[in-house]
């Protein structure tokens, strides 16, 4: 019975490789929702830092045909960010599953 009800719009989980490919092809805009100090310590090249604490419609970049993907350290804050964006009425559905931790576990490079 519990499996009968599903979220109307579940969050779309992108793998680290899918995000890496999308960044290379220019089809993804990656938004890191961690705090500036975390971003400064280590981040994914090409990511834009907009902390979850300051996430607002006017803070987000224009999509320009790209998929907006949110990312954090482990996936929790980026999932929260997707929920916040939906609350603003924005069609933001994607995040990097496992966040920066999954990115590094996949052997992908970061900027320090």
Q: What is the CATH number of the domain that holds 16?
A: 3.40.250.10
Q: Identify any residues that bridge with 30 across adjacent strands, giving them in sequence order.
A: 69
> Which has more confidence, 27 or 5?
27
In a domain, 1, yes or no: no
In a domain, 97, yes or no: yes
In a domain, 2, yes or no: no
Q: What is the DSSP string of 78-91?
A: HHHHHHHHHHTT--
In a domain, 36, yes or no: yes
Domain extent, residue 101, equals: 9-105
Q: pLDDT, tens digit, for every residue of 43-56?
A: 999 999 999 999 99
Q: pLDDT, tens digit, for every residue of 22-42?
A: 999 999 999 999 999 999 999
Distance CA 99, CA 110 (A): 12
pLDDT at 7 over 60: no
Provide the pairing of β-strand 67-71 with 12-14.
unpaired
In a domain, 4, yes or no: no
In a domain, 68, yes or no: yes
In a domain, 112, yes or no: no
Q: Which residues contact 92 (CB under 8 A, 6 or more apart)?
A: 60, 68, 70, 81, 82, 85, 86
Helix (H, G, I), strand (E, B) or coil at 107: coil
In a domain, 92, yes or no: yes
Q: pLDDT, tens digit, for every residue of 56-107?
A: 999 999 888 999 999 999 999 999 999 999 999 998 999 999 999 999 999 9
What is the pTM assigned to this prediction? 0.90
Total number of domains constituting the chain = 1
pLDDT at 3 over 90: no
Half-sphere exposure of 83 (CA within 13 A, CB side): 7
């Amino acid at each position: 019975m519990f499996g009968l009800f599903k979220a109307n719009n579940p969050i779309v989980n992108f793998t680290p490789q899918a995000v890496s490919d999308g960044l290379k092809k220019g089809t993804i805009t990656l938004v890191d929702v961690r705090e500036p100090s975390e971003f400064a310590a280590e981040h994914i090249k090409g990511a834009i830092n907009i902390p979850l604490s300051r996430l607002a419609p006017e803070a987000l970049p224009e999509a320009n045909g790209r998929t907006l993907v949110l990312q954090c350290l482990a996936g929790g804050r980026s999932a929260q960010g997707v929920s916040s964006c939906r609350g603003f009425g924005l069609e933001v559905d994607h995040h990097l599953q496992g966040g920066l931790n999954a990115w590094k576990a996949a052997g992908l490079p970061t900027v320090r």
